[in-house]
Amino acid sequence: MSVHVAPVTSSTIVVAVDVGKTSAVLSVTDATRHRLLAPSEFAMTGSGTATAAARAMAAAPAAVQVKVGVEAAGHYHRPVLDYRWPEGWEVLELNPAQVAEQRRVQGRRRIKTDVIDLEAITELVLAGYGRPVTYRDVVIGEISAWAVHRSRRVATRSATKNQLLGQLDRAFPGLTLALPDVLATKIGRLIAAEFADPARLAGLGVNRLIRFAATRDLQLRRPVAERLVAAARDALPTRDAVISRRILAADLVLLADLDDQIQSAETALALLLPRSPYATLTSVPGWAVVRASNYAAALGDPKRWPGPRQIYRASGLSPMQYESAHKRRDGGISREGSVALRRALIDLGIGLWLNEPAAKNYAHALKDRGKPGGIVACALAHRANRIAHALVRDHATYEPARWV
């Protein structure tokens, strides 16, 4: 799946672009490191970029190979990558870690200026680095947007639940003794919404509580109802109960809205994933739409990656290794790389661990050998990485016999 990069020749011209939030800096240099256009700033607008491209085209001799090197900068660099540069110019996206390392090689690790960054970008492009920017599949972009949106809402929902439980403990002390996971059940949500005042629940009684739940299409078993009413009658009064109930009501509205947004994101992902290169991932046991979409969002265009080794290394799960003077010392996981990709691979590995027979046996064998849980999770992530890459590369569905 690797993308061809045109080799650097003696006639290569490098247009280096260092992107900022509202402006960018551009320079033009030939293969002999002779600067054809000094660094010049332009606004990150359509007219500003067009003027900068025209200056670069005027500085570059005709009938030569031109490579545009752009350092990745969050999302700020994407408009420059998507800009329609002159016909025949090759646009390359550079890893910011490589640019920083190139500054260190040049003896400028502690100095970061636009001019020095442009020099580092130029050297990297002339050395053959950079990922060619091809047409990006809109579906992958939409999956990434929805997956990230869902992840943020899930994180917000978790924080809201923790805060809500704190208010619930003040409004209705002892409720969690009768119903340990209040917010994970429909009955618990009903009690939190309608009976945060224990006196109201105590006055209702067991039979009326069961009938009240039935009017909401909820089946409440009598033993649970008896525990809830007993907890209400035995609840300790608190000074913060009144204000806690008011805040609790607001939090419940927010929680319901977050649930709706998460469900909407999952519905959108379920429609988008089958149209993407990652459609076959859901054929793996334990890999449903959300897990597959998180992996797709973290990986992006699969054509970027030559193989699973590069993906695993980019996740930061590869162990550190130091070897010198015939002595080798291996360290732990580096934790460098893409956090989103690392989480996606570990989640895929957990999905295998819990649902795929061969992966279960593999995990049990590792645990029997005394491997701690973290190492087992990384091993399953490595296995999941190879399976996912193969399925996307071959556009194939999962065959258990192939991965025993």
pLDDT, tens digit (0-9, with 9 covering 90-100), for 246-259: 999 999 999 999 99
pLDDT for 24? 92
Return all residues near 28 (Cβ < 8 A) that are at least 6 apart. 13, 14, 15, 16, 35, 36, 37, 56, 59, 60
pLDDT for 320? 54
pLDDT for 223? 93
Query: In the predicted model, what is the mean pLDDT of residues 218-229?
Result: 93
Does residue 394 carry a pLDDT above 90? yes
Q: What confidence tier does 2 reach under pLDDT thresholds 50, 70, 90?
A: very low
Query: In the predicted model, what is the mean pLDDT of residues 325-331?
Result: 56
Largest CA distance in the chain: 89
Identify the CATH assignment for 141-270 out of 1.10.287, 3.40.720, 1.20.1050, 3.40.50.
1.10.287
pLDDT for 321? 52
- Note whether 317 and 323 are within 8 A (CB): no
Show me where the domains of the chain are located.
13-134, 141-270, 277-403
- Note whether 12 and 126 are within 8 A (CB): yes
Q: What confidence tier does 306 reach under pLDDT thresholds 50, 70, 90?
A: confident
Does residue 352 carry a pLDDT above 80? yes
Burial class (CB in 10 A: 0-12, 13-18, 19+), 125: buried
Does residue 328 carry a pLDDT above 70? no
Does residue 224 carry a pLDDT above 60? yes
Give tens-digit pLDDT for 165-197. Answer: 889 999 999 898 888 888 888 999 999 999 999
In this predicted model, which residue has the larger pLDDT, 231 or 327?
A: 231
Whole-model pTM over 0.85: no
Q: What DSSP designation does 279 have?
A: G
Q: What confidence tier does 1 reach under pLDDT thresholds 50, 70, 90?
A: very low
Average pLDDT, the chain: 88
Superfamily grouping for domain 13-134: ATPase, nucleotide binding domain (3.30.420.40)
Return all residues near 294 (Cβ < 8 A) that are at least 6 apart. 147, 151, 340, 343, 344, 347
Give tens-digit pLDDT for 108-126. Answer: 655 567 788 899 999 999 9
* Cα dihedral 44, 47, 51, 56 sign: positive
pLDDT exceeding 70 applies to what percent of the chain? 91
Return all residues near 215 (Cβ < 8 A) that are at least 6 apart. none
* Nearest CA among 183, 162, 178, 93 for reference residue 129: 93
pLDDT for 331? 53
Does residue 52 carry a pLDDT above 90? yes
Burial class (CB in 10 A: 0-12, 13-18, 19+), 176: middle
